[in-house]
């Protein structure tokens, strides 16, 4: 009989504990402003895009105006025009390549933040003894003042865990 | 001896039950409901009724008119889908619920014992849409 009791304890108590563990819900819709890492990343991307435009615009503007002048001159030098058009195309291709590198670096940084979010959800689960941490998109309704909402704590932990993420551009 | 043993067993069971009931308020603190989202989004007879309504209206009409009726049917289905979150909220508020989860999600997080309110949500949608003409003013 005592064996039966032990068996009951072994099966029932963990089940009771699990059944009573809370479910937490987090809303990550404001992650780009609430996560210091993502907000910083957004600012870095903006700076890089502006710098990229600045780097190529003077060359492109000068080449385009040169091409325009050549077209207006009569008789136009076809070979010279083609050479300038090719230069413009090369500069544009280089700019596109840099944009691509920037997009890849951005993607890698976002993946780092996603990884940190997963870890923080795990920390949150452990900290509260919750059985699950759900994204608000996984729910159909959440009462606005639900004690299950743990968004603030999630951002607190996330900003401690990953205050900044680096934008690492691959060598071109 | 066996009477004493069974007495001890009963006391232990009572203790276990006590432990379970003392832990129960924690579960009660969060009112969780479930709905069958797949059914509400595509399986409800209401959608079939809208389709039948459209089919009937399309009988014996020219192709331009048929397209208009087809469009009206699509719009009505979109309206039902748009009203779905509101209907879920209505049921949740009436039940003073904290959370409403899809059945599958509830099962995944071990909350499948939660009350299912799919029927209540369906009833709201049916009362809202089943009597409406497919096209306003017709």
Mean pLDDT of chain A: 88
Helix (H, G, I), strand (E, B) or coil at A155: helix
Name the band, by pLDDT with cuts 50, 70 and 90, for residue B34. Answer: very high
Residue A13 lies in a domain: no
Instruction: Give the number of A-B residue pairs with CB atoms closer than 8 Å.
Output: 82
Name the band, by pLDDT with cuts 50, 70 and 90, for residue A169. Answer: confident
Q: Which residues of A touch B (CB under 8 A)?
A: 1-2, 4-5, 8-9, 12-13, 16-20, 22-23, 25, 131-132, 134, 138-143, 146-148
Kindly report the CATH number assigned to the domain that includes residue A92: 3.30.910
Residues B37-85: pLDDT tens digits? 999 999 999 999 999 999 999 998 999 999 999 999 999 999 999 999 9
Residues B9-30: pLDDT tens digits? 555 545 444 444 444 434 447 8
Q: What is the CATH number of domain B31-129?
A: 3.30.910
Residue A32 lies in a domain: yes
> For residue A163, what are the CA distances in angstroms to A35, A39, A96, A119, A156?
8, 10, 30, 14, 10
Residue A131 lies in a domain: yes
Angle, in degrees to the nearest 10, between helices A78-128 and A151-161: 120
Residue A5 lies in a domain: no
Contact A1 B23 (CB under 8 A): no
Contact A143 B109 (CB under 8 A): no
| Cβ proximity of A38 and A147 under 8 Å | no
Name the band, by pLDDT with cuts 50, 70 and 90, for residue A71. Answer: confident
Overall domain count for chain A: 1
pLDDT of residue B4 exceeding 60, the answer is no
Residue A9 lies in a domain: no
Could you give the percent of chain B with pLDDT greater than 90?
A: 72
B26/A9 Cα distance (integer angstroms): 20
Q: What is the domain range of residue A144?
A: 20-161
Residues A117-152: pLDDT tens digits? 999 999 999 999 999 999 999 999 999 999 999 999
pLDDT of res. A62: 92
The phi, psi pair for B113, rounded to 5°, reads -80, -5
């Amino acid at each position: 009989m005592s064996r039966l009791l032990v068996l009951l304890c072994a099966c029932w108590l963990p089940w009771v504990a699990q059944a009573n563990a809370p479910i937490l819900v987090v809303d990550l819709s404001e992650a780009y402003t609430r996560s210091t890492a993502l907000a910083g990343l957004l600012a870095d991307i903006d700076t890089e895009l502006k710098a990229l435009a600045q780097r190529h615009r003077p060359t492109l503007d000068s080449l385009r105006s040169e091409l325009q002048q050549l077209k207006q001159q009569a008789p136009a030098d076809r070979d010279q025009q083609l050479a300038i058009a090719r230069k413009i195309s090369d500069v544009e291709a280089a700019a596109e390549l840099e944009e691509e590198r920037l997009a890849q670096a951005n993607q890698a940084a976002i993946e780092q933040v996603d990884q940190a979010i997963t870890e923080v959800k795990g920390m949150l689960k452990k900290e509260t003894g919750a059985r699950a941490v759900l994204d608000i998109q996984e729910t159909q309704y959440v009462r606005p003042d639900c004690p299950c909402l743990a968004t603030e704590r999630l951002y607190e932990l996330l900003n401690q865990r990953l205050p900044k993420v680096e934008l690492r551009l691959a060598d071109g | 001896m066996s009477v004493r043993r069974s007495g001890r067993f009963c006391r232990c069971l009572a203790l276990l039950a006590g432990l379970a009931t003392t832990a129960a308020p924690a579960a009660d603190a969060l009112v969780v409901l479930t709905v069958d989202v797949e059914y509400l989004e595509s399986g409800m007879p209401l959608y079939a009724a809208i389709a039948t309504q459209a089919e009937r209206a399309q009988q014996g009409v020219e192709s331009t008119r048929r397209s208009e009726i087809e469009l009206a049917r699509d719009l009505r289905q979109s309206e039902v889908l748009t009203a779905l979150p509101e209907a879920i909220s209505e049921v949740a508020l009436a039940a003073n619920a904290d959370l409403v989860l899809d059945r599958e999600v509830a099962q995944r997080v071990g909350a499948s014992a939660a009350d299912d309110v799919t029927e209540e949500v369906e009833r709201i949608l049916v009362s809202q849409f089943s009597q409406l003409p497919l096209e306003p003013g017709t």
